[in-house]
Chain A
Amino acid sequence: MSFFLFNSAIDSLWKGKWINLLTTLTVAVALIIIGIFSMLLFNLNLALRHWSEGFGIIVYLKDDINQSSIKAVDNALTSNRDILNVRFISKDDALNELKSQLGSFGDVLSGLEQNPLPSSFEIKLRPEALEPSKVKSIALKIKKMDGVDDVQYGERWVSILGSVNKGLRALAILLGTMIALGIIFIIYSSIKVLFYRRTEEVETLKLLGATKAIIRGPFLIEGGIIGFLGGAVSLLALRGVYRLFSFQIISMFPGLMAYPVSFLPVWSWFVFLLSGITLGLTGSFIALGRIRY
């Protein structure tokens, strides 16, 4: 990029400093809204992952199952990519666990002549696999295995989790698109005003033999800088909001937020700045329209 184009952009940014400052702040406010929503989604996702760690499928085995069939089921489960870990619970283990859960009432079980509990596998799924349809298909597949008697899991819970995830994702796309369009429009208006203000200069440049790239260059750089500054200001503001309110949020929703609210991950800061630049460039590009000689 030539120094001349960059210099022209800086010069113009300075000359139109008030309109540019206003545009930068408006872009920042819009990005802050996206940021707060992203932070909310990010933390909800963390919370859902945390909760999903406790979600499991219990595979009850038939009473007459032999060791080689147990081994076969174990192998089939362990090799499934959607399954995070598999724990075998023998009939004896199940009885002992029940006894310890019953505590002082555990003696009621000592009268049993035969252990009525089946051996089982306890499965934890990967968080990505926690979609209602997927969990259902995994459960059905397991149920069809030789030696498997029954499969149980929290079908209703998985369904709610799936709906919440889908809803949030749809809302994020809708809100993100609307705000992104808003930012493009804001920068479009600002650059259009600057372009009209510099019509005389643009006409002179054309007469002196400036190519379209030379004419567009400073405006695009200007839009990019406004977008970048908007992104940077919004990140700083978000960080401030986070510091001020994160502890209050925890105290407001102690049950919901069992652990500290997280700020956006570092990689998303770059996404923020890059989005600002991209939206700025897009707004400027549309504002400039077609340049004719």
Chain B
Amino acid sequence: MIQVANLIFRYPNQEIDTIKGISFKIEKGEIYGFLGPSGAGKSTTQKILIKLLSEYKGQIQVMGHDLKSYNNSYYNKIGVGFELPNHYAKLTGLENLKLFASFYEVKNVDLMELLHKVGLTDAAHQKTQDYSKGMKMRLNFVRALLHDPEILFFDEPTSGLDPVNAKNIKDIILDLKAKGKTIFLTTHNMHDADELCDRVAFITNGQIMAEGSPKALKLKFGKPLLNVEYQNSGFHLAEFELENLGQNLEFRNILESNKIISMHTREASLDEVFIKTTGEQLTLTD
């Protein structure tokens, strides 16, 4: 669905490339996560893919055509969910959707149904200036869907949402995937990426440092661990690698000489894999 080959981009008046020859491929119906700290090149790559930046080098094919060959009708095929709320404050939630819907070819989408999906039915006729941040974010999300696009770009779709609404948004994303939509997800949130993405790419300094399914990356770069909590004149916690655990003398000693409180296996997290592959810490405040 999206094929990027040796993409290079440099902003005007800058001396170094922001994107340094990255390549990746996203299949139809796939959720692809683009993870990296601020300034890594995530937003620039997304801006290129949504045709806000076009002075790039390299090849980009979207839906079988060169990205540069598309005119504005390209936006009938893609939907973009932004990280920050961006609505007409004096218009209601429903009016905001109607305004943007009027620019698209697909006209028969039930806007109230879309608002219902994200729990905004009761706020449909309320001005968005009176919405909470979470409500604005839900409206942002649902606006990307109003023309039933084939490809969706979401930037931090669960940012500013409470756990219940965040779960609902993630469920909708998975539902969209089930309907064959292709999703490009930009996020700092490794937990979301782990839960949603079929594949992820770690980008730092304009280069993709690792790419693959979260599971495969964790297996490749992380080590499964066993956490042991035991009691011996106080509570203690020890961590052991699962590999050759039976031969680990310290582990055997703990088992023989202490009261075991609990034992849990723990997979390496995507955060740990990210740090290992990129050498950088990824935080929500990046």
Tell me, yes or no, whether A binds B: no
A residues bordering B, Cβ < 8 Å? none
